[in-house]
Amino acid sequence: MSTEAFDAVDIIRTKRDRGALSDAQIDWTIDAYTRGAIADEQMSALNMAILLNGMSRAEIARWTHAMIASGERMDFSSLRTPGGAVMATADKHSTGGVGDKITLPLAPLVAAFGVAVPQLSGRGLGHTGGTLDKLESIPGWRAGLSNEQMLDQLQGTGAVICAAGSGLAPADKKLYALRDVTGTVEAIPLIASSIMSKKIAEGTGALVLDVKVGSGAFMKDEASARELAETMVALGTDAGVKTVALMTNMRTPLGLTAGNAIEVEESVEVLAGGGPADVVELTVRLAEEMLAAAGVHDADPAAALADGRAMDVWNAMIAAQGGDPHAALPVAKESEVLYAPADGVVAELDALQVGIAAWRLGAGRARKEDVVQAGAGVRMHAKPGDVVRRGQPLMTLLTDTPEKFGRAVEALEGAAVIVPEGDRPDQRLIIDRIA
């Protein structure tokens, strides 16, 4: 019978009593939980103690390191520029929101400047959409790639958006599932280590974080979002990854669509030089940050959207993963329009309520195994700051299953606030930059 180096109960007590865990204790905890030597109920107790009492920067860094050590690390050093030099790599991570389709135009836009973008993405759960769900509405597109296929695609097209393999930080998958059912998802040390363990293991040279703030975001207030952003930037910096964070507004959905196929459609509009101003603004700003972090200065991402360079990379990226970038996207079978109740200016459009409505229409899932509808979602015809007239369409709800309209409409009760003309709301998109 093997003897364990530590006792789980002693480690729980240490953190319960606001003590600091040693490097050896942290390494053992992650390894022992991954292999089943620590029971779920014991790790649940430790997670709750961390939620309540926090962790030091040194503890979070070691916890993240131990999560990385539980699996493989990717290596992009074989990627070469046409001149034979090692190709720079950059990635972006968003903490999630409503209508957040930024990854879709961003990856090919950055790749258009010769920086490889290995974007490992996930699926949606609840009111926040998943990048892979959106892309899977494109006929033929596939999310699953081997590491070798990823490298080949990056060398050939410069960009890839795909599912993370099971070998990256496997401890995180087990820990996240436990946090999800024990009320400890909100622990900032655990959020930061969950995100950063995967991103550091991914092996990118530069990372830009989009930390959302507001009703539709994971972090509802600026103080919490700032703490999370600062913690993640510190973790990336300590690991030798050039890391920057932008805090961005998620009180209002991004763009004019929340769904899957309709968000792909909007992303293609951005790549064609059009699209909603807020999506364009954030895409360009994040591209500037990624390029600068990768050592590419004086680039003009807006010009690459206007002249078609980014669209060329998008077409090649989608085709490389089996998709047809020119195929018609799925369209919902049923629609229902909601109208403005009064004249005035839209002062608020609550992101959380729009996200819940899209989810209820079939665009999202309540459980990981649920199937999403490609065409379902919400089209918004007016955003905060827009003037509307009574009876003007505010939103169009889309679904294949019309019995879902009732609960979606309930979710949108009071979501749009219309005030007398002249009362224009502050719609600052980028709140702060943390580096």
Residues 158 and 238 grouped into a single domain: yes
Residues 313 and 415 grouped into a single domain: no
CATH of the domain at 32: 1.20.970.10
Answer whether residue 60 is part of any domain.
no
Active site residues: 93, 172, 179, 194, 198
Residues 28 and 148 grouped into a single domain: no
Residues 340 and 384 grouped into a single domain: yes
Residue 315 gets the label, from left (phi > 0), alpha (psi -120 to 50) or beta, of alpha
Band (pLDDT 50/70/90 cuts) for residue 104 is: very high
Residue (of 263, 220, 274) closest to 99 by Cα position: 263
Q: Which range marks the domain in which residue 373 is found?
A: 334-419
Residue (of 190, 229, 239, 230) closest to 73 by Cα position: 239
- Rounded to whole angstroms, the Cα distance separating 50 from 32 reads 18
Answer whether residue 69 is part of any domain.
no
Q: How many domains does the chain have?
A: 3
Residues 315 and 356 grouped into a single domain: no
Answer whether residue 182 is part of any domain.
yes
What count of other Cβ atoms lies within 10 Å of the Cβ of residue 400?
Answer: 16
Residues 210 and 282 grouped into a single domain: yes
Residues 33 and 125 grouped into a single domain: no
Answer whether residue 406 is part of any domain.
yes
Q: What is the pLDDT of residue 173?
A: 86
CATH of the domain at 137: 3.40.1030.10
* Helix, strand, or coil (residue 210): strand
Q: Which residues have C-beta within 8 Å of that of residue 427, sequence separation ≥ 6?
A: 249, 252, 278, 383, 384, 385
- Rounded to whole angstroms, the Cα distance separating 242 from 12 reads 34
Answer whether residue 208 is part of any domain.
yes
Answer whether residue 434 is part of any domain.
no
379-402 pLDDT tens trace: 999 999 999 999 999 999 999 999
Q: What is the pTM of this model?
A: 0.93
* pLDDT above 60: residue 1: no
Residues 42 and 144 grouped into a single domain: no
Dihedral over alpha carbons 418, 262, 252, 120 (to 10 degrees):
180
Residues 218 and 301 grouped into a single domain: yes
Q: What is the pLDDT of residue 423?
A: 66
Residues 299 and 412 grouped into a single domain: no
Answer whether residue 75 is part of any domain.
no
Do residues 99 and 257 touch, judged by C-beta distance below 8 A? yes
Q: What is the pLDDT of residue 368?
A: 67
Q: What is the pLDDT of residue 258?
A: 97
